[in-house]
Structure 1
């Protein structure tokens, strides 16, 4: 006799999340991944643009909501519905106290700055629609990180095209005037992909070389739009799927009447998706450039300081001094940095066995890679893989 199992009633959960961006779609993917691993939910979600996530239909009834709480109108609707809510917006609205999961802006700023500092950049700028408080919040973190390095950060308020009162030509001319007067080479960090692509377009129209004079990095990935500019736009890969998964986990607890261990969680971005808009070195020393290019090409093979010095006709002491002055580390520390970066990428994006990853990163054994990795990151490779995949 076949044993009958009682049907599990699906929770009805509304998602107030835009579906027009990679961030929104990946957050929804994280939510659905959680649901597939647990009790069933029916998700109420409609296609929507970046700034217009659809609210639930009038008189909608359900069990909970996951929302990008971006404006007072959404807050009012959520309070009227009176169901458990988890917020996945980085925007801080006064008077709201919903449990929240977001990107760690400080860590994102640190990642962006280190990325450009590792390429020798000493001039930085930030661009975005500053009338949005969240854009200004990110700028605050960026300035703090650079201030610790003794560096300033220029800024430019570029409203979204649908909010811009100027005509296209006036808007482009104002941006180009700003770009021309900036010190070069300069690293520009854009709030999202739209301002970044506008910067690349503006540079192309006045023959300002990207990335050699102006390198551009977006704070968020949005495929395939990042490939529509020429050169293609590099971006910070935010943990949107992990944010969605964690938000679903928190909402599940709330709908079951259980208290949350933490009401606010933030996740650091793990890597930068490198494309042509940042493919450059802001260094003029020919010996240093030659050494860095050699290290990039051979970092994942057995390599020693003697191998490096055999390619570049300077003394060991002078080479060490040049690296310390320009990059703040030694040549072999640069090799280690590249290997750890590649190990992180492989742990995040593949299911390769640990020994295969070790060999791909230039280590003979997994045990030695694990020792170096844990010393640099604080956790083992296996712990890192588990953490990044929730």
Structure 2
């Protein structure tokens, strides 16, 4: 039974039992902090903690609610004895009214990852799931397979050795090398995290396998530091993890105020793919399509049209349209729009430039034209997009 407070307090005392050594977890904490800053009067209890440190809530702690990564039964019991409203932000376990979940949508991430490689024209798609020591029920893999095989692609899953001294990648390198060697090329690989993605890139480098042309790599989550330490920056799914923390805090405050826990988890849908060098290729058997995409990328800061493409390539518009549809499953105009959108998102994430400055650098006739384009493509304003990515600016300023 959840303990209900008799009167809403002037200040909320909230326990944060969340890993704080990883970028994912720190992003959740960023979202919690943003909500608390906007609404005021929140005090937090927390301790620095890595994945190897077992968390518990002290028996004598007194507060009003808990936000936790509930990853094991001992932690669940430790929190349960306090009978406080609790939000679970972990993919571990199942949603319940006692421990309702607010999480990034894992199935949505798998779907968008599979579709990304399908749209790029890959016929072979590999997958490396969570390390065995994480004990996750993998909800990403089924959607990757469904998206890939539904489009006629072949899928290949890495199988770690459960008899290894430890089931992480320090003890799986030989097996990983053999798996990467065995994959038909070119292949797009979806990796559970950035650490695994970096291991694949290192493996490919040692084996003389070209990244991204032979092996393209996409991480389910992002860790900017690990990506910087990689020989090649790593593409990832924008999971909106900071928004997970924000919505978790919002839901906790609603329950503390007397609201009933939801019957279903609150799932934060992924935003899309943030593309870095690890997937920056277009696999296509059609050389003309490759040349067209390269021209679009070289001129991503200019308002080019399909007519510019046809003149540059000396090909008819109808022929170009047909070949794009056959190879990439989209039109040249869609490719131009998506490339320009990615340029805008990069400016918004990574710089503090004004919208007027960004619109000029991205080749728009005026700021209003850029605003209309961005809203039409994403459903949000550039300002809203930037507010959802405050950490990106911090990372690039450090």
Same fold (TM over 0.5): yes
2-side partners of 1:166 and 1:259: how far apart? 40
Aligned to 2:81: 80
Taking a change above 3 Å as real, the CA distance of residues 64 and 147 of structure 1, as seen in their structure-2 partners, is: same
The structural deviation recorded for 1:127 is 0.3
Match of 1:207 in 2: 208
Q: Which moved more, 1:111-120 or 1:58-67?
A: 111-120
Residue deviations 1:32-64, cap 9 Å, x none? 122122232221111111354632234222211
Partner SS for 2:266:
strand
Between the aligned partners of 1:161 and 1:267, the Cα distance in structure 2 is: 36
Contact 2:130–2:136 under 8 Å retained in 1:
no
1:184–1:214 contact (8 Å) kept in structure 2:
yes
Q: Aligned-pair distance for 1:351? A: 6.6
* Larger CA deviation: 361-370 vs 171-180: 361-370
Determine helix, strand or coil for the equivalent of 2:139.
helix
Equivalent residue number for residue 6 of structure 2: none
Maintained 8 Å contact 1:217/1:235: yes
Structure 1 stretch displaced more, 293-302 or 371-380: 371-380
Inter-partner Cα distance in structure 2 for 1:129 and 1:44: 29
2:159 to 149, 157, 160: 157
> Offset of 1:292 from its aligned partner?
0.6
> 1:205-354 counterparts in 2 under 5 A?
205-259=206-260, 264-346=265-347
TM-score w.r.t. length of structure 1: 0.85
Report the equivalent of 1:125: 126
**Secondary structure, aligned partner of 1:246:** helix
Q: Does 1:136 align with 2:138?
A: yes
Structure 1 pair 89/203, CA: closer, same or farther in 2 (3 Å)? same
Segments of 5+ residues of structure 1 without an aligned counterpart are 1-7
Which residue number corresponds to residue 4 of structure 2? none
Q: What is the deviation of 1:115?
A: 3.3
1:16 to 1:53, Cα distance in 2 relative to 1, 3 A: farther
Query: Structure 1 residues 251, 290: CA separation in 2 closer, same or farther (over 3 Å shift)?
Result: same
CA distance in 2 between counterparts of 1:329 and 1:94 reads 38
2-side partners of 1:16 and 1:114: how far apart? 34
TM-score normalized with structure 2 length = 0.84
Unaligned runs of 5+ in 2: 1-8, 391-398
| Residues in 2 aligned to 1:163 and 1:67: alpha-carbon distance in whole angstroms | 30
Partner secondary structure for residue 66 of structure 2: strand
Higher alpha-carbon deviation: 256-265 or 147-156:
256-265
How far the C-alpha of 1:221 sits from its partner, in A, is 1.0
* SS across alignment from 1:232: coil
Distance in 2 of aligned mates of 1:381 and 1:9: 35
Inter-CA distance 315–229: structure 2 relative to 1 (3 Å threshold): same
Q: Secondary structure at the match of 1:157?
A: coil
For 1:216 and 1:200, locate their aligned partners in 2 and report how far apart those are by CA, in whole Å.
8
The offset of 1:12, in angstroms, is 1.9
CA distance in 2, matches of 1:188, 1:173: 18
Q: Are the counterparts in 2 of residues 105 and 138 from structure 1 also a CA contact under 8 Å?
A: yes
Is the 2:104–2:269 Cα contact (8 Å) retained in structure 1? yes
Matches of residues 59-78 of structure 1 in structure 2 within 5 Å?
59-78=60-79
Secondary structure, aligned partner of 1:281? coil
Once the two structures are TM-superposed, the CA of residue 354 in structure 1 deviates from its matched residue by 5.0
* 1:147 is aligned to 2:149: yes
Partner SS, residue 320 of structure 1: helix
- Mean CA deviation greater in 132-141 or 61-70: 132-141
Q: How many residues align?
A: 381
Contact residue 217 and residue 234 of structure 2 kept, 8 A = yes
Q: 1:22 to 1:380 in 2, by over 3 A?
A: closer
Once the two structures are TM-superposed, the CA of residue 16 in structure 1 deviates from its matched residue by 0.9
